[in-house]
Amino acid sequence: MIFGILGSGSWGTALAKILTDNGQTIHWWNRSENAIQQFKVRAHNPQYLTTARFNINQLILTTNAEEVIRNADTIVIAIPSAYALSALSTLPKNIFEGKKIVSAIKGILPEDNLLLNDYLKKQFNVSLENYFAVLGPCHAEEVAQEKLSYLTFTGIDREQTIDIATYFKTAYINTIINKDIYGVQYAAVLKNIYAVGAGMAHGLDYGDNFLSVLIANSADEMAGFLRKAGFINAEVGYIEHKKSSILQSEHNNYAASVYLGDLLVTCYSLHSRNRTFGNMIGKGYSVKSAQLEMSMVAEGYYASKCMYHINKEILADMPIASIVYNILWNGMLACEGFKKIEEGLI
């Protein structure tokens, strides 16, 4: 299998490290020719995860996205959701024919409130059978440090999902497969919103006791949306399941990694940019000043608006996500919003 990666931020760099550590030569798109030249000299990404070293002979670096796609059979798309449309919209309509797509986007394309698979179907006629997604819980920074992490691969074709996952199994990465392709992607979107909320709570000087209740209620709210939307395909609690030498598990347990686990790490970890962004808002930063200070994309900011509009049709009960949206987009003061949240927590 020949991999191409679109996106050279921290998550794209982490996935590139995993693949090259497994001996893969990859085609890799970067917007900046200057960054590529620095990469070739320094053997690391000059902008993100600078401690992750690469064998340059395993990297075919280019600023031409079409070149990456045409020379690979499996394309990993790791562009932040806010920039994905601008990167993909100018590509030829037939560019993805015969290709497998692995989404590493943990967000919704904000222009049309679409998951990547729905956008690719609409614009490029990519079938869901050829679409897969890779999700956490997994912070790029810990991948760079080779700390044991878990990746979940989701797809409707079990054998192809297993095949792709094997290329990412390393001494420091365990892989899990899942077939709830819509549910896990929406869970990844929602957990970023709740992580922004958790950061706001921290910035407002709420303590750990409150935070635990906030996150527990967020988990319940997320599950409620997934059920109401008809996406969730998971049980709660221990389920006996097969294990293999390659994959840790392939059952869909809401209390496990890709649902609750990813929510927890994104809400609690100091590596979480969404938590960091929310913390700044809670401390009184404006949205614009927090974005400038971070110089990285907090997916939860855009996701809060997208999910607010999507839920106008789903009509799930989502008071926490709605208040985060109003704080970020409608000028509600964080302290006022959290007084409202306090009243509804159980």
Residue 168 sits in a domain whose CATH number is: 3.40.50.720
pLDDT score, position 247 = 53
- Do 145 and 223 fall into the same domain? no
Higher local confidence (pLDDT), 57 or 233 = 57
pLDDT band at 164 (very low <50, low <70, confident <90, very high): very high
Lowest mean pLDDT among 46-55, 87-96, 292-301: 292-301
Residue 273 class from Cβ within 10 Å (0-12 exposed, 13-18 middle, 19+ buried)?
A: buried
Range of the domain at 212: 183-344
Q: Any alpha helices (H) in the chain, and if so which ranges?
A: 10-21, 33-42, 65-71, 81-88, 116-124, 140-144, 158-166, 181-203, 208-229, 262-268, 273-282, 287-294, 299-314, 319-329, 334-344
> In the 8-state DSSP scheme, what is residue 257?
I
User: Which of 159, 181, 203 is a domain's end point?
Assistant: 181
Q: What percent of the chain has pLDDT over 90?
A: 78
**pLDDT, mean of residues 171-181:** 92
**pLDDT band, residue 244 (cuts 50/70/90):** low
Q: Is the pLDDT of residue 238 over 50?
A: no
Q: Are residues 311 and 194 part of one domain?
A: yes
Instruction: Examine the domain organization and report whether 191 and 116 are in the same domain.
Output: no
Find the DSSP H helices in 204-318: 208-229, 262-268, 273-282, 287-294, 299-314
Instruction: Quickly state the pLDDT bin for 12 (edges 50, 70, 90).
Output: very high
**Residue 235, pLDDT score:** 56
pTM for this predicted structure: 0.91
Q: Is the pLDDT of residue 253 over 70?
A: no
Q: Strands across the sheet with 3-6, in order?
A: 59-62, 26-29, 3-6, 74-77, 100-103, 131-135, 149-154, 173-178
Kindly state the helix (H) or strand (E) to which residue 75 belongs, with its residue range. strand 74-77
Q: Same domain for 254 and 168? A: no
Clarify whether residues 70 and 161 are in a common domain: yes
pLDDT, tens digit, for every residue of 116-132? 999 999 999 999 999 99
pLDDT at 180 > cutoff 80: yes
**Which residues are bridge partners to 92 per DSSP?**
none
43 and 146 together in one domain = yes
User: Which pLDDT tens digit goes with each residue over 255-289?
Assistant: 668 888 899 999 999 889 999 999 999 999 999 99
Same domain, 196 and 288: yes
Same domain, yes or no: 218 and 322? yes
pLDDT grade for 294, boundaries at 50, 70 and 90: confident
Flag the least confident range among 165-174, 185-194, 228-237, 293-302: 228-237
- Would you say residue 52 has pLDDT above 50? yes
Mean pLDDT is highest, among 157-161, 249-253, 325-329, for 325-329
8 and 147 together in one domain: yes
- Tell me the pLDDT band of 110, cut-offs 50, 70 and 90: confident
State residue 175's pLDDT score. Answer: 94
Per the listing, tokens 């490290």 go with 17
- Model confidence band, residue 27 (pLDDT cutoffs 50, 70, 90): very high
Shared-domain flag, residues 322 and 276? yes
Cα diameter, the chain: 58
Last residue of a domain, one of 133, 162, 181: 181
Where a domain ends, among 181, 197, 212? 181
Residues 143 and 208 in one domain: no
pLDDT over 70, % of the chain:
93
- From the centroid of its chain, how far is CA 95? 24
pLDDT given at position 169: 96
CATH number at residue 307: 1.10.1040.10
Based on the structure, what is the number of domains in the chain?
2
Is residue 213 domain-shared with residue 121, that is, in the same domain? no
